[in-house]
Structure 1
């Protein structure tokens, strides 16, 4: 399955994953950790352990600080 991953602020990449891939697997394919980003589908966050079911996602890097 081909998925377009739009990493907000960094551009888009085309990623190929197998049918059993989760959103966490997809995030790792763009060299990010699932703990440092949120995956959005149609503007809404999705659980990282959910199977990938769409062909376009946005990856939003989370910012933390103090």
Structure 2
């Protein structure tokens, strides 16, 4: 399954995910954990354990160290 993932403020990634991938897998594919980012579909957050059903998602970081 091909998914375009925009990490806000950091760029866009073209991901090739397994057919049974979850939105948590999307985060892992871009090097983020479910504790530091959320996936948005149509500008709404989706649960990390929900199967991917969109071909384009946005990721927003929740925390950033400093």
Q: Place the TM-score, normalised by the shorter chain, in its bin.
A: over 0.9
**TM-score, scaled relative to structure 1:** 0.93
Whole-Å Cα distance in 2 between the matches of residues 62 and 32 of structure 1?
11
Q: CA deviation at 1:64?
A: 6.8
CA-to-partner distance for each residue in 1:19-59, whole Å, 9 max, x for gaps?
10000011100011111001100000000000000100000
Root-mean-square deviation (Å): 1.3
- The aligned residue for residue 44 of structure 1 is 44
Whole-Å Cα distance in 1 between the matches of residues 19 and 27 of structure 2?
15
**TM-score, scaled relative to structure 2:** 0.93
Unaligned runs of 5+ in 1: none
- The aligned residue for residue 54 of structure 2 is 54
Q: Does 1:35 align with 2:40?
A: no
Look up the SS of the partner of 1:27 in the other structure: helix
